[in-house]
Amino acid sequence: MINLLFDDVKKPNVFLSNAPIQVSDHPLPSSYIEHKNYILSNENWNIYTQLSLLFKQFLDNLNIINPDEINSVSSFIYPVIMNEPYFHIRSIINNSHVDFGFWSHINPKIIESLRKKKGHIIIDISTEPCNESELNAAIEALKDCSQFPNDRIHLNLSDQRYVNNKNTHCFPSTLECHAIQKFSKLYESFDLDTNLISKKERRKIRNNTHYNKKRYLLLNNRADKQISGPLVVHFLNSINALDKGLISLDNKGNNFSEIFNESIKNYSNITHEEIPNLSNYVYEGLYLSKAMESVDFNIVVETHLNRDVFDWPLITEKIFRNVSYDMPFIVLGPPQTLYWFRQLGYSTFHPYIDESYDEINNDFIRIKSALKEISKLIALSDTEMKKFKNKCKPIHEKNKQNFLNRQNELKVFLTTLGCTF
What is the pLDDT, as a whole number, of residue 266?
A: 67
Question: What's the pLDDT tens digit per position in 5-36?
Answer: 998 876 789 987 654 433 334 444 444 344 44
Phi, psi of 77 (to 5 degrees): -125, 130
Cα–Cα distance for residue pair 224/133, rounded to 1 Å = 29
Cα–Cα distance for residue pair 131/405, rounded to 1 Å = 28
Going by their DSSP bridges, the two strands 119-124 and 153-156 should be labelled as: parallel
What is the pLDDT, as a whole number, of residue 272?
A: 62
Q: Which of 175, 145, 140 is nearest to 155 (CA)?
A: 140
Better-predicted residue by pLDDT, 404 or 8: 404
Instruction: Give the CA distances from residue 50 to residues 143, 144, 198, 229, in Å, rounded to whole numbers and listed in that order.
Output: 28, 29, 20, 32
Question: What's the pLDDT tens digit per position in 125-142?
Answer: 988 888 888 999 999 999
Taking the CA atoms of residue 340, residue 342, residue 347 and residue 349 in that order, the dihedral angle to the nearest 10 degrees is 40
What is the pLDDT, as a whole number, of residue 300?
A: 96
Give the helix, strand, coil percentages of the chain, each rounded to 5. 45, 10, 45
Continuous segment of H or E residues that includes residue 289 = helix 288-292
- β-bridge mates for residue 239, sequence order: none
Least confident of 247-261, 366-380, 393-407: 247-261
Across the range 184-199, mean pLDDT stands at: 42
Q: Are 82 and 122 in contact (CB under 8 A)?
A: no
What is the pLDDT, as a whole number, of residue 50?
A: 61
Residue type, position 254, single letter = N
Across the range 81-103, mean pLDDT stands at: 92
What is the pLDDT, as a whole number, of residue 301?
A: 93
User: Is the pLDDT reported for residue 206 higher than 80?
Assistant: no
What is the pLDDT, as a whole number, of residue 194?
A: 42
Instruction: Give the CA distances from residue 223 to residues 265, 282, 411, in Å, rounded to whole numbers and listed in that order.
Output: 15, 12, 39
Q: Which of 27, 32, 34 is nearest to 10 (CA)?
A: 27
What is the pLDDT, as a whole number, of residue 241?
A: 94
Domain positions in the chain:
2-170, 201-399
User: Is the pLDDT reported for residue 51 higher than 50?
Assistant: yes
What is the pLDDT, as a whole number, of residue 47?
A: 43
In this structure, the number of other CB atoms found within 10 A of the CB of residue 361 comes to 10
Across the range 197-217, mean pLDDT stands at: 75
Q: Which of 97, 89, 16 is nearest to 49 (CA)?
A: 16
Read off the DSSP letter of residue 369.
Answer: H
Beta strands in 172-294 (DSSP E): 216-219, 245-248, 282-283
CATH number of 201-399: 3.40.50
Question: What's the pLDDT tens digit per position in 294-346?
Answer: 999 999 999 888 877 777 778 999 999 999 999 999 999 999 999 999 999 99
Cα–Cα distance for residue pair 358/355, rounded to 1 Å = 6
By three-state DSSP, how is residue 198 classified? coil
Phi, psi of 99 (to 5 degrees): -100, -45
User: Is the pLDDT reported for residue 220 higher than 70?
Assistant: yes
Q: Are 113 and 47 in contact (CB under 8 A)?
A: no
User: Is the pLDDT reported for residue 76 higher than 90?
Assistant: yes
Continuous segment of H or E residues that includes residue 341 = helix 337-343
User: Is the pLDDT reported for residue 42 higher than 80?
Assistant: no
List CB contacts of 158: < 8 A, sequence separation 6 or more: 125, 126, 129, 170, 173, 175, 176, 312, 313, 314, 315
Q: Are 167 and 92 in contact (CB under 8 A)?
A: no
Beta strands in 72-151 (DSSP E): 76-81, 119-124
* Average pLDDT of the chain to the nearest whole number: 83
Residue type, position 28, single letter = L
Better-predicted residue by pLDDT, 405 or 185: 405
- The predicted model scores a pTM of 0.86
What is the pLDDT, as a whole number, of residue 20?
A: 40
Q: Are 323 and 348 in contact (CB under 8 A)?
A: no
What percent of the chain is predicted at pLDDT more than 90?
Answer: 50
User: Is the pLDDT reported for residue 229 higher than 50?
Assistant: yes
User: Is the pLDDT reported for residue 387 higher than 50?
Assistant: yes
Better-predicted residue by pLDDT, 385 or 192: 385
Across the range 277-281, mean pLDDT stands at: 78
Q: Are 357 and 302 in contact (CB under 8 A)?
A: no
User: Is the pLDDT reported for residue 199 higher than 80?
Assistant: no
Across the range 44-55, mean pLDDT stands at: 59
List CB contacts of 309: < 8 A, sequence separation 6 or more: none
Read off the DSSP letter of residue 75.
Answer: -
The pLDDT-based confidence of 181 (bands split at 50, 70, 90) is low
The pLDDT-based confidence of 198 (bands split at 50, 70, 90) is low
CA-based angle 231:232:236, to the nearest 5? 120
Burial (CB < 10 A; 0-12, 13-18, 19+), residue 193, is middle
